[in-house]
């Protein structure tokens, strides 16, 4: 469902280790917001619900809320360094339009109302 690159996996594992908790996992989802309509929600969490989908990728426990799954199918997460900073990048085959700033996106299935940049 979701692919995590070696670089992203190394960064995520380093971040998880710094949290010093065995119960934390990576939660990936989408939320309404941004000028194209949807934004990624990528965070660490320790609370899983019955509606969440759970799997392991690159040794990382990943949780996706059921409502986000259709927007994230085929998502590829990477980590890239630019200059002195780095960040996660998302390559999502479902994206049909994205904002100029790259912070939000829209899919064919999205039925919300985007806000203006």
pTM listed for this prediction: 0.84
- Mean pLDDT of all residues belonging to the chain: 87
Could you tell me if residue 43 is left (phi over 0), alpha (psi between -120 and 50 degrees) or otherwise beta?
beta
The answer as to whether 116 is a domain residue is: no
Q: In which domain, by residue range, is 64 found? A: 3-107
The answer as to whether 79 is a domain residue is: yes
The answer as to whether 81 is a domain residue is: yes
Range 72-101 average pLDDT: 88
Domains held by the chain: number: 1
CATH number, position 57? 2.60.300.12
The answer as to whether 114 is a domain residue is: no
The answer as to whether 38 is a domain residue is: yes
The answer as to whether 39 is a domain residue is: yes
Give the pLDDT of residue 115. Answer: 57
Give the pLDDT of residue 105. Answer: 82
Question: What pLDDT digit, counting tens, does each position of 23-65 carry?
Answer: 899 999 999 877 778 889 999 999 999 999 999 999 999 999 9
Three state DSSP letters for the chain: CCEECHHHHHHHHHHHHHHCCCCCEEEEEEEECCCCCEEEEEEEECCCCCCCEEEEECCEEEEECCCCHHHHCCCEEEEEEECCEEEEEEECCCEEEECCCCCCEEECCCCCCCCCC
């Amino acid at each position: 469902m979701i692919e995590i690159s070696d670089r992203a996996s190394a960064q995520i594992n380093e971040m998880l280790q710094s949290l010093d908790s065995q119960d934390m996992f990576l939660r990936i989802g989408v939320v309404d917001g941004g000028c194209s309509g949807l934004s990624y929600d990528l965070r660490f969490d320790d609370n899983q619900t019955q509606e969440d989908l759970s799997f392991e990728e690159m040794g990382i426990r990943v949780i996706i809320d059921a409502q986000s799954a259709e927007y994230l199918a085929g998502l590829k997460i990477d980590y890239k360094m630019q200059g002195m900073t780095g960040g996660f990048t998302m390559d999502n085959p479902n994206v049909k339009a994205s904002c100029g700033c790259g912070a939000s996106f829209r899919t064919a299935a999205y039925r919300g109302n985007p806000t203006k940049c």
